[in-house]
Amino acid sequence: MLLKIRYGNAAQTLPPTLSDTSTYKDLLEAISQVTQYPTSEIEVKNGFPPKVLSASPDILLKDLKVKHGDALIVSRVASTVASAAPTSPRVQESNSPASTTHTASIVGAESAAISMAQGEMILRVDASRRQFLSIQFCGYVLDKKQTSARQLRQVVCDYILQHPVEFSEVILGRPPQQYCQWILKDESWGGAIELSIFSKVFQLVISSVDVQTGRTDRFGEGAYSDEVFILYSGIHYDALALSPAEGAPEAFDQTRFDASEADLVRANVQQLASTLRAMGQYTDLENFTLRCGICQKGLKGEKDARAHAMTTGHVDFTEY
């Protein structure tokens, strides 16, 4: 069995010693030989959108649906072995003006934080990471999950149907009724359309920072007084929140900031994105070669996958 891995900024083929009857432990050991990552700090994703392979060491690769030719995404994360040291990586910053250069050091990037005078800017990772825009995760930055994912999807549908000129078939890529039926499904991906609607409905500026490019898309800029922040890594969106202290419960998180006084927050968010970018903690979806697992059609990148999913309803993709 030949398997490719992507890790950091590198891509490599694993030695051809694995088979479908090899175990997950065998896979981790093979990856460790190539990357030099400790097996306890390796996270593996497969499929499209990529999903974390969570398994016991003895489970067979065939049971994980890992097959010949798959391209796996490998990340180094904090070890699950208990220790006295905190498992969440930290980016340290002095209490200096926003223009000051920060010295960053992150071991793993599944969670991260930047120290500020007011506390720590925390990257709250969406645990499911099943979609390009997790609707449930959006509820975290919008109103601390007071609104359920199902309600948020309904908010999108209601707004689209109430604003047929703003969200026409041309904008949506399909008739509004059909789009609404699609976005109500749990497996459907969201994106700019949903963020723009949430901005209007919740009367917030939503700033989405792309880790790969550093670009910030600000939905509702200049229209609202409060601002929230999210990071986009090419596969998923994760929330940013200000925690009063390291290890404080999420209940104490601040996710809304005064948009007129958020320059320091924006600078810290950009610094965090720059650090993750330098570590290669993003996925370049434009250059992925994909195959639909249902009809076997070859596709390239996120745009092709989105278009194929919207026209066929197929959402099972693998990289090849």
Q: Residue 94: pLDDT above 50?
A: no
232, two tokens: 């986009």
DSSP 306: H
pLDDT of 105 > 90? The answer is no
Contacts of 11 (CB under 8 A, 6+ apart): 4, 5
Query: Of 153-157, 162-166, 230-234, 235-239, which range is least confident?
Result: 235-239
The answer to which of 11-15, 100-104, 162-166, 284-288 has the lowest mean pLDDT is 100-104
CATH 3.10.20.90 intervals, the chain: 4-81+284-319
Is 240's pLDDT higher than 80? yes
How high does pLDDT run on average in the chain?
A: 78
DSSP 83: -
Please tell me the least confidently modeled range out of 124-138, 141-155, 199-213, 224-238. 124-138
Q: What is the rounded CA–CA span in Å between residue 305 and residue 48? A: 9
Q: Which residues in the chain are classed under CATH 3.90.70.80?
A: 113-278
H/E run at residue 317 = strand 317-319
User: Is the preceding omega at residue 249 within 30 degrees of 0, hence cis?
Assistant: no
pLDDT score of 141 more than 80: no
Average pLDDT over residues 201-226: 93
β-pairing verdict for 205-210 and 226-232: parallel
Report pLDDT for 98: 32
**Cα-based distances in Å from 229 to 74, 275, 315:** 26, 17, 28
Q: Residue 132 corresponds to which tokens in the numbers above?
A: 């390009």
State how far the alpha carbon of 26 is from the alpha carbons of 65, 68, 180, in Å.
Answer: 15, 15, 44
Please report the pLDDT score of residue 168 as a whole number.
95
> Under CATH, what is the fold of the domain 4-81+284-319?
Ubiquitin-like (UB roll) (3.10.20)
Give the residue-averaged pLDDT of 213-224. Answer: 94
Reply yes or no on whether the pLDDT at 219 is more than 90. Answer: yes
74 beta partners:
7, 44
pLDDT at 177: 96
239/209 Cα distance (integer angstroms): 11
| Most confident of the following: 2-11, 95-104, 124-133 | 2-11
Instruction: Determine the pLDDT at residue 99.
Output: 29
**Which CATH fold topology does 113-278 show?**
Cathepsin B; Chain A (3.90.70)
Higher local confidence (pLDDT), 20 or 261: 20
Which secondary structure element, helix H or strand E, spans residue 13, and what is its range?
strand 10-13
**Does residue 23 surpass a pLDDT of 80?**
yes
Mean pLDDT lowest among 89-98, 119-128, 186-195, 297-306: 89-98
Q: What's the pLDDT score for residue 137?
A: 58
Q: Is the pLDDT of residue 231 over 70?
A: yes
Say which residue, 139 or 94, is predicted with more confidence. Answer: 139
What average pLDDT does this structure show over 141-163? 84
Question: Which stretch of 3-12, 26-35, 71-80, 197-206 has the lowest confidence by average pLDDT?
Answer: 71-80
pLDDT higher than 60, residue 88: no
Query: Can you tell me the mean pLDDT for 206-228?
Result: 93
| DSSP helix/strand/coil, 31 | helix
Please report, to the nearest 10 degrees, the dihedral formed by the alpha carbons of residues 127, 4, 28, 316 taken in order. Answer: 40
Question: 10 Å Cβ neighbour count for 166?
Answer: 12
Is the pTM value of this prediction over 0.85?
no
Residues 168 and 193: their CA atoms lie apart, in Å, by: 12
Residue 280 structure tokens = 């290669």
Is the pLDDT at 20 greater than 80? The verdict is yes
Torsion over CA: 213, 11, 307, 184 (sign): negative
Phi, psi of 264 (to 5 degrees): -65, -40
- With 0-12 CB in 10 A as exposed, 13-18 as middle and 19+ as buried, what is 172? middle
Query: How far is Cα 145 from Cα 24, in angstroms, rounded to an integer?
Result: 35
pLDDT tens figures, 172-206: 989 999 999 989 987 777 788 999 999 999 999 99
- pLDDT(292) > 60: yes
Least confident residue range of 48-52, 87-91, 177-181: 87-91
pLDDT at residue 237 above 60? yes
Query: Three-state DSSP class for 241?
Result: strand
